[in-house]
Structure 1
Amino acid sequence: MPTSLAANANVALYASMIVYTLAMLAFTWHVAARAPKVAESKVAAESSVAERALVGAGAGSGAPVSAERRSPTTYAAGPGFEESLRSRQRGSIALMLTYLATALLVASVLMRGIAVSRPPWGNMFEFATAASAAVGVAYSALARRNRWEWLGVFIVTPILLVLGLSLAVLYTEAGELMPALKSYWLGIHVSVAFLAVAFFTLAFAVGLLYLVRVRREEKPPARPGFMESLPSAAALERTAYSLNMVGFILWTFTLIAGAIWAKQAWGAYWQWDPKEVWTFVIWTVYAAYMHGRATAGVDPRKSMYIALAGYAAVIINFTLVNLVSTFVGMHNYSGMS
C-alpha cells in the first residue's frame, strides 16, 4: 500500500507538471490578448485631449458640460486600458488549468505523506514539491478575487522550473526520517517556512513587475504593451508590500519555532549552524525592507530592491546552504547521497 501510494504520488506530480505547462501556455496566450493595441491607444489619447478641450471650453463659456464628458472612464487595470472579452476568457481558461494543476500537486504531496506516515517535507525534494504546492495554492486563492490573471505566467513558470529540477536533481525515494527530524516540530516549523516562501515568491514576482512598471510610467513607450495593462506602479508596490508583510510574519514564526526545536533536539536555542544563520539573514533583510518601506522620504524602489535581495537570500538558503559542503552543518537533511 505505501509503495503504490508513493508511485501514485509521482504520477500525480507528473500530471500536475503537464497541466501547469498548459496553464503557462494559456497565461502567455492571455498576455498576448491583454496587451493594448496601438490604434486603440491613440484613439483613447485623442479622445482624452478632445474631452479636456470641450470641458475647458464649457467652463470658460459658462455652458453646461454633460456628465458623460466630465466623468473619467474606469478601467480594470492601468489608465487607458480596458480588458477585452477575449483576454478575460483566456485568463479564465488559464486559471482553471492552474486550479487543476495545483489540485494534482497537492494530491501528490498528500499521497507522499500518507505513504511515509509523516509530514511530506523531510528532504529537499519533498520540501520543494510542498513549497511549490503552497505557491500554487496561495496564487489560486488570491488570483480570482484580485483578478491576477496577469500575474499567472510569472508564478506558474517558476513552479514548473522548481518541479522539474526537483525530479531531475533532488528526487529521493520515499523513506524514513533522520532521527533528528522525528518531532512534531517538523510539521509546524517547516510547514510555516514554506508558506512564508510562498508569499515571498508572489511578492517577488509583483516586485519585479513594479520596478518595470514605474520605469514605464516615468518614460512612457511609443508603443504601449503588456506593462501598460497592469495596475499602476503604486498599486503594484502596495500589493508587493502586503504579500511581503504576510511572508515576514510567517518567517518570524519560522525563526522562533526553529530555535525552540533546536533547544529540544540539540540542547541549545542557537549554535551558529549555517541554516540558522541564513534563516536569520533572511529575517534581517526583510526587516530592513519593512523599516525602509515605513520610513518617510525613502524611495519605494530602494526598499523594493532590499526585498528582492531578501528573496535571493531565500534561494541561497534552500540551494547553496543545503547542497554546498562549505555550508552544510547540523541541518544536512537534503536526503541526497
Structure 2
Amino acid sequence: MTPTLATANAALASNANMALYASMIVYTLAMLMFAWHLAARSAQLSGTRAVEREEVLVTAGGAPATSAPAPARPAVEGPTATESAASWQRGNIGLMLTYLATALLVASVVLRGVAVERPPWGNMFEFATASAAAVGLTYSVLAKRNGWQWLGVFVVTPILLVLGLSLTVLYTEAGELMPALKSYWLAIHVGVAFLAVAFFTIAAVIGALYLVRLRREEKPPARRNFIESLPSSAALERTAYGLNMVAFILWTFTLIAGSIWAKQAWGTYWQWDPKEVWTFVIWTVYAAYMHGRATAGVDLRKSMYIALAGFACVIINFTLVNLVSTFVGMHNYSGM
C-alpha cells in the first residue's frame, strides 16, 4: 500500500469514528424523545381514568340528563389507544432522529469498510457496530410500516449500550483481514447473521414487553402507566413470534453457510469449534420455541421464556465465546 493511499485510508477510518460518535449523540436524543413519547402516553391514560371517575360520580349522584358533558379527552380503547397530539408528535420526532442516527451509523460502517478495503466485519469492534446498524435499520423499516414509536426507547437504548461498549472496550484500529476470513463467504455468512440477530433482538424486546403486559392484564394495577398503552399481550406475542420466525430462517441459512465456508477453509464441515457449537445451540433453542409455539395447548408464556433463553444464547455467542479464553477455537477473530 502506497503512503498516499495509507494516509487516505487512515483519514477514512477517522471519519468513520466521527460518524460513529455523531450517531451516538443523535441516538441519545432519539432515546430521550421516545421516553418523552411514552410519558405522554402514560399521562393520556391518567387523564382518561380521571374522566371515567368523574362520569361514575356524576351518574351515582343522579345528575340531570341536561347537565353539561365532561370535557372531551383523547379516547383510549384498550391497546389501540388514540394518540394525543403531543404523544404522536414526540414519537415521530424520535423516529426521525432514529433514521438520522442509523444513517450516520451505516455511514460509519461503510467508511470503515472503505478504509480497510474489505467488509468491515473482521473483529469484535466491527461486528458490534455492524450488528447495531443492522438492528437500527431493521427497526427503522418496521417502525415506519407498523407505527412502532412506542417500541423506540426499548430498541435505541440497547443500540447505545452496544456502541458505547464498542468504543470503550472493543475498539480495534483498522487493519488487515485475517487470512482465514479472506473469502466471499464473509459477506454472505456474516451479513445474514447480522440480519438474523437484528430480528432476534427486536423480537426479544417485544417478547419481554409481552410478559410484562400479560402480567398486568392478569393482575390489573391500581395505577395505569405506559404499559397499558401498548398493544395487547396477544398482539405482542404474535408479533414476537413472527419476528422470531424470520430470524430463525435466517439463522438456519447462517448455520448452513458457515458449514460450507468451514469446508472450504478447514477441509471439514464441522469441527466442534465453540462458535460452531453455540451457533447450533441457538438454532436448537429457537427450534424448540418454534415447536412449542406451534403445539396446541402449550402455554405461550413458557414458549416465550424459551425464546428469551435463545436470545441469551445469542448474547453469549457474541460476547463470551469471542472474548473468554475458555472458548478458544478456530473463530478467534476478536482483534483484542
Secondary structure of 2:169's counterpart equals helix
Letter of the structure 1 residue corresponding to residue 48 of structure 2: E
The answer for the alignment partner of 1:103 in structure 2 is 103
The answer for the alignment partner of 2:46 in structure 1 is 38
CA contact (8 A) 1:128 1:166 kept: yes
The answer for the alignment partner of 1:288 in structure 2 is 288
The answer for the alignment partner of 2:208 in structure 1 is 208
In the alignment, which of 17, 22, 26 is matched to residue 19 of structure 1? 26
Secondary structure of 2:327's counterpart equals coil
Secondary structure of 1:170's counterpart equals coil
1:152–1:257 Cα change, 3 Å: same
* Aligned-residue offset at 1:37: 3.6
* Aligned-residue offset at 1:45: 7.3
Secondary structure of 2:154's counterpart equals helix
CA contact (8 A) 1:76 1:83 kept: no
* Aligned-residue offset at 1:318: 0.5
Cα distance in 1 for partners of 2:147, 2:52 equals 23
1:76–1:267 Cα change, 3 Å: farther
1:223–1:264 Cα change, 3 Å: same
Cα distance in 2 for partners of 1:260, 1:25 equals 44
CA contact (8 A) 2:203 2:244 kept: yes
Q: Confirm or deny that 1:232 pairs with 2:232.
A: yes
The answer for the alignment partner of 1:91 in structure 2 is 91
Deviations 1:171-204 (CA, angstroms, capped at 9, x unpaired):
1111111100000000000011111000000001
The answer for the alignment partner of 1:64 in structure 2 is none
Cα distance in 2 for partners of 1:172, 1:328 equals 19
Letter of the structure 2 residue corresponding to residue 167 of structure 1: L
Letter of the structure 1 residue corresponding to residue 301 of structure 2: R
* Aligned-residue offset at 1:249: 0.5
Letter of the structure 2 residue corresponding to residue 25 of structure 1: L
Letter of the structure 2 residue corresponding to residue 43 of structure 1: V
Letter of the structure 1 residue corresponding to residue 178 of structure 2: M
CA contact (8 A) 1:16 1:104 kept: yes
Letter of the structure 2 residue corresponding to residue 11 of structure 1: M
Cα distance in 1 for partners of 2:58, 2:261 equals 67
Secondary structure of 1:171's counterpart equals coil
* Aligned-residue offset at 1:49: 12
Structure 2 gaps of 5+ residues are: 1-7, 60-73
In the alignment, which of 2, 7, 17 is matched to residue 10 of structure 1? 17
* Aligned-residue offset at 1:212: 0.3
* Aligned-residue offset at 1:83: 1.8
The answer for the alignment partner of 2:3 in structure 1 is none
* Aligned-residue offset at 1:40: 1.4
1:113–1:76 Cα change, 3 Å: farther
* Aligned-residue offset at 1:43: 3.1
Cα distance in 2 for partners of 1:298, 1:192 equals 31
Cα distance in 2 for partners of 1:311, 1:327 equals 19
* Aligned-residue offset at 1:223: 1.0
* Aligned-residue offset at 1:3: 1.1
Cα distance in 2 for partners of 1:26, 1:119 equals 33
* Aligned-residue offset at 1:144: 1.7
Cα distance in 2 for partners of 1:122, 1:158 equals 22
Letter of the structure 2 residue corresponding to residue 235 of structure 1: A
The answer for the alignment partner of 1:63 in structure 2 is none
1:135–1:50 Cα change, 3 Å: farther
The answer for the alignment partner of 2:159 in structure 1 is 159
Aligned length: 314
1:137–1:49 Cα change, 3 Å: farther
* Aligned-residue offset at 1:268: 0.4
| TM-score normalised over the length of structure 2 | 0.90
The answer for the alignment partner of 1:78 in structure 2 is 79
Cα distance in 1 for partners of 2:76, 2:246 equals 28
Aligned residue runs from structure 1 range 293-332, under 5 A? 293-332=293-332
Letter of the structure 2 residue corresponding to residue 21 of structure 1: T
Cα distance in 2 for partners of 1:39, 1:126 equals 47
1:76–1:161 Cα change, 3 Å: farther
CA contact (8 A) 2:192 2:250 kept: yes
Deviations 1:38-75 (CA, angstroms, capped at 9, x unpaired):
34125347869999xxxxxxxxxxxxxxxxxxxxx986
The answer for the alignment partner of 2:172 in structure 1 is 172
